[in-house]
Amino acid sequence: MDTRKITAALCYFSIFFAGFLIPAVVYFISNDYEVRQHAKKALISHILPFFSLFLLLIIWLAAPTFTGLFLFGVLVAILYGLVIVYNVVKGIQVLLER
């Protein structure tokens, strides 16, 4: 297996164990254009839920009811679930590329 593919896939799979630390390190250390692009995409996909979390928190603070809190929790759970699925799919795609 190619080291570039493993490194790029590791950036996506790091959502399970190192958050956005590994993609950031790989982005700044790697000299390979393709690996840097995958690291950048993984980093954005790891950071995006945190920005969305702040947006959803502001929405909940505007209407602080139990229904708003429940809806807030459901939306955050769905968003994080989608990000995890996206990263797993992209990591597998990178490993299967020729």
> From CA 96, how far away is CA 57, in angstroms rounded?
38
Indicate yes or no: pTM above 0.75. Answer: yes
Phi, psi for residue 31 in degrees, rounded to 5: -100, -10
Looking at residue 34, its amino acid is E
Query: Residue 39: how many CB atoms within 10 A of its CB?
Result: 26
Residue 41 has a pLDDT of: 94
Parts of the chain with a pLDDT under 70: 1, 63-68
